[in-house]
Amino acid sequence: MTITNDLIAQHGLTADEYQRIVEALGREPTLTELGAFSVMWSEHCSYKSSRVHLKTLPTTGKRVLQGPGENAGAVDIGDGLAAVFKIESHNHPSFIEPYQGAATGVGGIIRDIFTMGARPIALLNSLRFGSLDDPLVRRTMAGVVAGIAGYGNSIGIPTVGGEIGFDDSYTGNPLVNVFCLGIAQAGEIIKAVASGAGNPVYYVGAKTGRDGIHGATMASAEFDENSAEKRPAVQVGDPFMEKLLLEACLEVMRTDALVGIQDMGAAGLTSSSCEMGSRGDAGVEIDVSLVPQRESGMTPYEIMLSESQERMLLVAKQGREADVERIFEKWDLHAVRIGKVTTDGRLRVLNNGEIVADIPNKALTDDAPRYRRPVAEPSYLKTTQQLDLAALGPPPQSRDVFRRLLASPGIASKRWVYRQYDHMVRTNTLVLPGMGAGVVRIKGTTRALALSVDCNGRFVYLDPFLGAQHAVAEAARNVACAGALPIGATNCLNFGNPEKPEVMWQFVRAVEGMGAACRALDVPITGGNVSLYNETDGRAVLPTPVVGIVGLIEDAERVVRRLFRTGGDVVVLLGESRAELGGSEYLKVMHGQVCGVPPALDLAREAALQRLLVDSAAAGVLHSAHDCAEGGFAMALAECCFDSTVGVSVDIPAVDGADAGFADIAALFAESASRVLVSTSADGATDLLARASAAGVPAAQIGVVGGDRIRITVAGRPVLDEPLADAERIWSSSLERVFERARAVA
């Protein structure tokens, strides 16, 4: 078959890239080879636009056992154990087919974790959708949630937390980012490496079909009105098969018969074979005719590019074949020997013994193109950064804002969502979803891990550098509120088309901000994922660099929760409130505006605040802790009461510099950073304030827990006085009503 220009373009390759392929091979590629280069050099697999920037992120630290480059990162959590974790996107498939797209996203990240030799024990997710007024968005969200539930619940890994945001920019391009954490013996982390000439290469798991061919290429292009035609490129998940694979693989790993293992995710058999060979400086030779196939007449091209789910490639030690095969047989799986490790560093693909591809592994992996794409500061910033409150008309009543924000889907209870997830299986979940960071205990130790995924896309849109810093700070602050020391991070960078200089500028600035914040807070990034081309009809999503943070709690009995506990406890606000309404939920919900500059962030002060939280929690001083995020102080205070059955009464100072008439709004709803609402016993307040003073963290005793109302005065003047039950009803039923009303109408 001749390789035409059309064929090259269809494979998403430029003329220059094709020329590089010819040079790497020393000849024209075969069709199978062209397919292999196409997927391996796609943005999704090669990180060609992002890699030069990702290199600037901090990835090392005294606890880091595995940084970027493997299936997942790993950090030391003591007791000879490692926390293995990563976040990954499945945005494009989830738009085209919400249930299966999201389900297979869960399946993929779980495989990344257990291939490291870790037992997965917790899932989180970070989701973004358009406005729920749109029936298509509701359908997408319902499908995504059901897909995550369908997969995670069946396989028996609890979904213990997450976050969901809404903005019109996500209407045609939802974000589905899934985080998984597993526990491994620190000294027994398994690598995705092929080595040892003559060692057998095994294929195990589901049979290969024509599904998902060019999924990686699909994920590296924008959407348009024809996207629905791409549905065959979305795979179908089988959580039961994955459960068998998980158990069987962990059992094989407990023997010493294994050399390396990798799942066949994006780019399927192609990526797993050449990446394992490349990491081991070895060659891999496989015969596709031996690959178990679900359909007849599949070509080598199709077999190599299929993204059928629940498949693994593993290299065993020569002579130990029987041990490996016996374990898979026990789980009714068949490990099929499809090739061997060689010494020549090449990926050689045979079809019934005849060579159909013969490529140096490095040409597909390390030597893939790298671009430093042009950047340009977006013109929109000139207008969006202007915030003129006076132009918005007279300020609304605080009470109306309070109620509207409680009902807004970004803030309202996500119970309708997390009730569909099994969040308790494995009996480790100490803090249930909807209550800040998810917390799971580590059985057999006294420790627990707190997990949080966060990103405020509005902040990043308005100032990518500062906004990405906020994402890191907020995720770390959330685990610190639980009493956990942030020890490792993973990121999922969701942006638009990197070939547009303004998008690329957002990306570069966000990575710079993220790196600065991770260094200041001492949380290395151990891996992650980049998802570009999140655009539909030329319109990009809000830049959304989601950060997942793992925090370590030394004494699981000292976990701090969000809810106020008992009447009479003292409420203390840590941090400073300023008139910072830029990028706020208030502006979005009440005025439909995304404008202004995000709140300032002093990273040194943030670090001091987090240390104070961790130390005070360990000392048993804190009865509750909750950070002020979307909706500001007032929302945070209300959330501390919901589900607790006790109200609260506080007096806060007026904020400086608020525009005329907006002083109360700013005091209640501005989203100033580095603020945490904590409660402690009446006796403990002195201790806590002394600790805060020593740490250099501003702290003020602002009120007491008790009663059945939420009462706020500003400098002694009443501004809000709401029955707790009313507020809680609005907050807890809002999302449910959206979906149930929609169902009733349908």
Active site residues: 44, 90
Relative to beta strand 485-494, strand 570-574 is unpaired
Closer residue to another protein (CB): 365 or 429 = 429
Give the type of residue at 364: L
Q: Crossing angle, helix 239-254 and helix 321-330, to 10 degrees?
A: 140
Q: How far is the CB of 432 from another protein (least distance, A)?
A: 7
Q: How far is the CB of 324 from another protein (least distance, A)?
A: 18
Assess contact for 219 and 44: CB atoms under 8 A: yes
Q: How far is the CB of 746 from another protein (least distance, A)?
A: 13
Closer residue to another protein (CB): 128 or 426 = 426
Relative to beta strand 648-652, strand 709-714 is parallel
Nearest to 55 by CA among 38, 68, 45: 68
Give the type of residue at 123: L
Closer residue to another protein (CB): 21 or 241 = 241
Size of the site for another protein (CB under 8 A): 33
Assess contact for 195 and 282: CB atoms under 8 A: yes
Closer residue to another protein (CB): 270 or 429 = 429
Q: Which residues are CB-contacts of 145 (< 8 A; sequence separation ≥ 6)?
A: 102, 127, 417, 420
Q: How far is the CB of 129 from another protein (least distance, A)?
A: 18
Residues 545-564 that bind another protein (CB under 8 A): 556-557
- Asked if 244 interacts with another protein (CB under 8 A), we say yes
Residues 328-387 that bind another protein (CB under 8 A): 331-332
Radius of gyration of the chain (CA): 26
Q: Is 652 helix (H, G, I), strand (E, B) or coil?
A: strand
Assess contact for 75 and 488: CB atoms under 8 A: yes
Residues 222-241 that bind another protein (CB under 8 A): 238-241
Distance CA 142, CA 739 (A): 8
User: Site map for another protein, 306-335, x if CB under 8 A?
Assistant: -------------------------xx---
The residue whose two tokens read 């709401």 is: 722
Residues 408-447 that bind another protein (CB under 8 A): 418-427, 429-430, 432, 441, 443
108-132 b/e (C-beta count within 10 Å ≥ 16 → b): bbbbbbbbbbbebbbbbbbbbbbeb
Assess contact for 700 and 573: CB atoms under 8 A: yes
Closer residue to another protein (CB): 722 or 728 = 728
Q: How far is the CB of 721 from another protein (least distance, A)?
A: 28
Q: How far is the CB of 130 from another protein (least distance, A)?
A: 22
Per-residue 3-state assignment (H helix, E strand, C coil) for 277-308: HHHCCCEEEEEHHHCCECCCCCCHHHHHHCCC
- Asked if 407 interacts with another protein (CB under 8 A), we say no
Q: How far is the CB of 326 from another protein (least distance, A)?
A: 14
Q: How far is the CB of 532 from another protein (least distance, A)?
A: 33
Which H or E run contains 77? strand 73-78
Q: How far is the CB of 312 from another protein (least distance, A)?
A: 17
Residues 652-711 that bind another protein (CB under 8 A): none
Distance CA 484, CA 554 (A): 8
For 6: left if phi > 0, alpha if psi spans -120 to 50, otherwise beta; the answer is alpha
- Asked if 177 interacts with another protein (CB under 8 A), we say no
Residues 130-169 that bind another protein (CB under 8 A): 146, 149-150, 153-156
Closer residue to another protein (CB): 243 or 539 = 243
Closer residue to another protein (CB): 52 or 425 = 425
What token pair was written down for 157? 């890994």
Closer residue to another protein (CB): 106 or 689 = 106
Closer residue to another protein (CB): 59 or 429 = 429
Distance CA 311, CA 652 (A): 57
Nearest to 168 by CA among 670, 595, 630, 539: 539
Q: Site residues (CB under 8 A) for another protein? A: 146, 149-150, 153-156, 238-241, 243-244, 247, 331-332, 418-427, 429-430, 432, 441, 443, 556-557
